[in-house]
């Protein structure tokens, strides 16, 4: 019974409410970052696929640089370094900006890879039928590529949701941050709090993984 005592003490309505408030921040930051990174990453990936002179090469350099940097470094840079040049942001805004920059680079590669997976002959067929290059991309290439890209994109979004926890280093009041406040009250609270936090992350990420799995089965 002594082992169960910390669980009984920590699993109170107030603590659950506090953890849920943090988890709401986690989901909000993740959701906004997902939307922004999908839009920005989609544009970058499409431009790189189109191989626009100079622009594509510059974007390739930026993407490869970001992909080879730790996300934690980008978070630190966004929150601590940018204010030095006059770009000061609130904690949540800095977290969203850092996650968006990092995930946009990842998503752009998925988009580019998906577009490259479509046979080049389909572009030639579209052009031969009188469609412009943009129309061929929009009506022929993108619809097919998107079906192939959805599973890896969903998997990347699962990673993004987990990566929001890194923003605890800049005191983002997310799930991990609020959990730390609770278990700092008493050492015996650590395991019970980590269990409930792990369950919260697991439920959402597992639901997303099921979506990705179903989409993969549809593609097979």
pLDDT averaged per 10 residues, the chain (length 220): 69 92 96 95 92 90 95 95 92 96 95 88 78 81 82 89 92 93 87 93 90 73
Do residues 41 and 105 touch, judged by C-beta distance below 8 A? yes
H-run or E-run covering 29: helix 13-50
Do residues 25 and 95 touch, judged by C-beta distance below 8 A? no
Q: Give residue 2's pLDDT.
A: 62
Selection from 151, 140, 139 nearest residue 113 by Cα: 151
Q: Give residue 140's pLDDT.
A: 83
Structure tokens, 3: 């082992």
> What is the set of domains in the chain, with CATH numbers?
5-219 (1.10.3720.10)
Q: Give residue 112's pLDDT.
A: 92
Q: What is the CA 67 to chain-centroid distance, rounded? A: 13
Q: Give residue 101's pLDDT.
A: 97
- What's the alpha-carbon Rg for the chain, to the nearest Å? 21
Q: What is the pTM for the complete model shown?
A: 0.89
């Amino acid at each position: 019974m002594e082992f169960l005592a910390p669980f009984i003490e920590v699993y109170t309505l107030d603590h659950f409410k506090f953890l849920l408030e943090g988890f709401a921040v986690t989901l909000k930051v993740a959701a906004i970052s997902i939307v922004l990174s999908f839009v920005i990453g989609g544009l970058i990936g499409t431009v790189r696929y189109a191989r626009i002179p100079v622009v594509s090469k510059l974007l390739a350099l930026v993407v490869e640089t970001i992909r080879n940097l730790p996300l934690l470094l980008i978070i630190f840079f966004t929150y601590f370094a940018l204010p030095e040049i006059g770009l000061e942001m609130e904690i949540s805004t800095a977290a969203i900006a850092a996650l968006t920059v990092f995930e946009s680079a990842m998503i752009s590669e998925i988009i580019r890879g998906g577009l490259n997976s479509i046979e080049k002959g389909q572009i030639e067929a579209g052009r031969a039928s009188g469609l412009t290059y943009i129309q061929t991309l929009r009506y022929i290439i993108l619809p097919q590529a998107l079906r192939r890209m959805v599973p890896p994109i969903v998997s990347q979004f699962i990673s993004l949701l987990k990566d929001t926890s890194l923003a605890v280093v800049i005191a983002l009041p997310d799930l991990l941050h609020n959990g730390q406040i609770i278990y700092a009250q008493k050492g015996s609270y650590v395991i019970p709090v980590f269990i409930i936090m792990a369950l919260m992350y697991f439920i959402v990420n597992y639901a997303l993984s099921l979506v990705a799995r179903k989409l993969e089965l549809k593609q097979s």
